[in-house]
Each structure stands twice: as C-alpha cells, then as structure tokens.
Amino acid sequence: MEHPDRPNCIRDSAVEIEVVLPGLIGEMALDHQRFSRTPGRASGATRGEIMDFSLSEEHRITQANIRKLCERELEPIAGLIDREGRYPMDFHRALGREGYLGALIPPDFGGSGADLLTMYIVKEELCRVSAGVGMSVAICALNFCNFLAKLGTEDQKRKYLPPVISGEKLASYCLTEPNAGSDTMGLQTRASRRGDRYVINGSKTFITNGPLADFFIVVTRTSGQRGVRGGTNFILERGSPGLSSGPPFEKLGMRCSPTSEVFLEDVEAWPSQVLGTEDQGFIDMFNTLDAERSLAAATATGIAQACLDASLKYARERVQFGRPIASFQHVQAMLVDMATSLELARTFAHKVVWLYEQGRNINRQAAMAKLFASQMAVRAGLDAVQIHGGYGYITEFPVERYLRDAKLCEIGGGTTEIQKNIVARELLKN
C-alpha cells in the first residue's frame, strides 16, 4: 500500500536489502511440510521407513488452486466483509462449484473423496485470507457434511449433502449452550419422546452460521442428566415450527462469520431425523469430532502465515533512520520467532492429520497441536501489529484483523485451558 504523501512511510518500490534471516522464507508458503506416506507405501509407518515431509503433487495443485481462488475473489473483499459483518455467499457458492465444500465426501454424494490433509490445506488457505470465512466453511464441510457422511442414513445423505456441498445451502452444528460451554456433558437441551415423534426444547449459543443456516445438527439429551450416555443428534431444518435464531452477535473477530443463538421451543422431530443412534449421540459426536480436532490448528497456521507475509512485506518497505526496518535486529527477531513457531505448528499439525488417517488415537496430539498453534497465532498477531507500529493499529492494514481473529483460536473448539487438561490427563494415564 503506497502513501507518497506521508514522510518516511512506505516507499513506492520495494527496497532491495540483505538481511541475515537463515531459513526464514524460502518457499514456505508452497513447501508446507508434513508427515505423510510415500506413494505406494503400505498403510502405517514402520521402523526403518523413510519419513516424507513434502506435499504430494496432488496436494500442491490443490493448494495452488485454492490460493488463486482466495486471492482473486476473497482477498479484495476480506476487509469489507469484516467491517460489515457480512458473509460472502457468492464466494461460498464458488467454493461449492470448485468442489472444496465436499472435499471429504464420497463421490456418490457429490463430493471429491479427498483425504483429510486436502481439507487442512483448503482450510488454512481460506484462513490466511479470511479466518471468518474459513470457520464458516469448516462448519459446513466438517461438522455437518463429514458427520452426516459418517453417521447418516442413505436418505439423509441424499437429501442434505448435495445442497450443502454445492454451496447453495448453509449448515450449522448446535452444541454449545449458555450453561454448557467447555462442560459439554452439562447441556440441557432435551428431546422427549411423545408418541411416534420427539419434542425438542432448549437453546444453543455461539452457533456458527446460526443466523443464516438452512440445516442444523442439534445435540440433545434424550435420557439421563450427565455422562456420555443419553445423547441424541437431530437434523433440523429452518422453517420448522418452534425453531428460530437470534440476531448475529457483534464479535471482536471473525466478524464475517455469522454467529448467533438458536432457540428450540416444542420443535417436533421424527425418528427419520435422528442422526446416528438414539442415546449414543455423545459417543458418536466424540468419535466424529476427531476429524475436526485434527484440523483445529489450520485456522491458526493460516492466520499466522498471513501475519508473516504482511510483516515481511512491510519490514522490507518501511524505511526509518535511512534504512528498511527489516535491517533492525529487534524486527528480525520477531520475524524469526514468527516463522519458526509457524513452521513447528504446521509440521506437527500435519503429523496429527497423518496419525488420524492411520487410525491412531490422537487425543493428546490433537490437543497439543491446537494448544501450541493457537498461542502461536496470537503471538504472531501481536508481533505483526508491533512491526507495523501505528499502521498496525488502524484498519487500513489487515494485521489488526489478523490479531482479532487469532484470539478465537484460544477459545473456540476447546479453550487453551481445556487443551492443557486433555494433555495432562493423557500424560498421567497409567
């Protein structure tokens, strides 16, 4: 961004400098490292095998294509939709046309049948440009479509998957309640059997896509008061009598992703709307959430990559005391810390995805990845604002948005404190 009328601001052309930043950039954006199987290798790594950290050709093509789409259609409006709190449905439909919303879904239902790393790449690239869009897309692609593909009946899949995969319909996942946030087992939304149907009463809050969603997966309790037994998931549709959503919340960050309360007052549901098995809903939820948890770090690594990209560009171009600020050691230190932490977070997150694809238990590793990546993204946002100085504090530059968006990584999808509890529990087993 050029400001020729401002003294000593950003020069019209990039200043060529030589700064000692060993291994800082290279081709980081396109050389995202991961743990993966070499093509043709048997499933499951064994001692003595070569560990491959590179993306496959297919993954590189996916990364390049989704990046081009985001830079062409999303980046020009990212700041505007944040300020307006508006979700870009036209772009969402473009994602559907290109097959990204159904990346994990079998081709029989209109999906691409890709692996989980493909979805990680898509989510990270979206979050690099607009984390709010990335969050809303993940709810549709993971929490709704992936859950439905794994747990739904054939009729449910054929009815609900195609319109969400195409981008014509939005979906939401209703778990959190006013009195049941981290304490998931404390939820109070109740589904009671009355004759040949269920009647659902309760309320949900902080529901991503809540104000606009056409379809809702609603987590309820059908028996008992606490514990993993007694939960049942339902698929509900907007327009159902008694189902309504509140106005969008005014949020600190992720502002383009619509979030609201969802109210359920004597909502009737038929057995055909049960997703999975009655009274096994919490168990189904925890099993299926592993895929979401393995991708939790993608939001953070996407935001941090955006912070690093913006900071490198600004540090090269911003001149103070007669030289670019990238030549100052304090600025270099922030860039090095940002790049190193990002590389570590991404590499470990890719390992977690690999472990999930091998059918391994990822409780500890997924919590570690989210914990580290979330804190890393907030630090990257703070350092990006600091590097930009006063310009980092105004909305003319995007880094203040990155910082606001990053904070949710430490709260949503399991707080930092909950991740620490999970890791401690796993470490102290046996």
**Would you place residue 50 in the very low, low, confident or very high pLDDT band (cuts 50, 70, 90)?**
low
Does the pLDDT of residue 118 top 80, yes or no?
yes
Q: pLDDT digits over 19-30, tens only?
A: 434 344 343 333
Confidence of residue 176 (pLDDT cuts 50, 70, 90): very high
pLDDT for the residue 317: 97
Considering the chain, what is the average pLDDT of its residues? 88
What contacts 281, CB < 8 A, 6 or more positions away?
219, 220, 222, 231, 232, 233, 275
Nearest-angstrom CA–CA distance, 28 and 398: 21
pLDDT digits (tens, 9 = 90+) for 283-315: 888 877 777 888 999 999 999 999 999 999 999
Q: What pTM did the predictor assign?
A: 0.88
CA distance linking residue 356 with residue 63, whole number of Å: 21
Q: How far is CA 301 from CA 132, 213, 363, 423, in A?
A: 14, 27, 20, 20
Question: CB–CB of 335/24 below 8 Å?
Answer: yes
Out of 124, 177, 261, 292, the active site residue is 292
- Distance from chain centroid for Cα 345: 14
Rg (CA), the chain: 22
Q: Is there a contact between 160 and 314 (Cβ–Cβ < 8 Å)?
A: no
Quote the percentage of the chain above a pLDDT of 70.
88
Q: How confident is the model at residue 318 (pLDDT cuts 50, 70, 90)?
A: very high
Model confidence at 137: pLDDT above 90: yes
Task: Classify 269 as helix, strand or coil.
Answer: strand
How much of the chain, in percent, has pLDDT values that exceed 90? 76
**DSSP assignment of 348-387:** HHHHHHHHHHTT---HHHHHHHHHHHHHHHHHHHHHHHHH
Question: Which domains, from first to last, does the chain contain?
Answer: 57-169 (1.10.540.10), 173-286 (2.40.110.10), 296-427 (1.20.140.10)
Least confident range from 171-180, 184-193, 198-207: namely 184-193
| One-letter amino acid of 226 | R
pLDDT number for residue 247? 97
Contact status, residue 209 vs residue 258, Cβ threshold 8 Å: yes
Higher local confidence (pLDDT), 11 or 175: 175
> Tens of pLDDT along 201-243?
999 999 999 999 999 999 999 987 777 788 899 999 999 999 9
What is the pLDDT, as a whole number, of residue 4? 40
The confidence score (pLDDT) of residue 160 equals: 97
How far apart (Å, rounded) are the C-alpha atoms in residues 293 and 347?
16
Q: In Å, how far are 123, 218, 333 from 374, measured between CA atoms?
A: 15, 27, 20
Instruction: Kindly state the tokens that stand for 241.
Output: 């009598």
Q: pLDDT digits over 70-102, tens only?
A: 999 999 999 999 999 999 999 999 999 999 999
| Rounded Cα–Cα distance for residues 80 and 75 (Å) | 10
Phi then psi for residue 413, to 5 deg, are 70, 25
The model's pLDDT over 346-361, given as tens digits with 9 standing for 90+, comes to: 999 999 999 999 989 9
Residue 207 forms beta bridges with which residues? 260
Supply the DSSP symbol for 77.
Answer: G
Is 73 part of the annotated catalytic residue set?
no
Least confident of 4-13, 106-115, 283-292: 4-13
CA dist., res. 141 & res. 197, Å (int) = 29
Q: What angle do CA 77, 258, 170 make, to 5 degrees?
A: 95
Q: What is the pLDDT of residue 45?
A: 40
Render pLDDT for 378-406 as a digit per residue (tens, 0 to 9).
999 999 999 999 999 999 999 999 999 99
pLDDT at residue 5, rounded to an integer? 42
Strand pairing partners for 200?
A: 191, 267
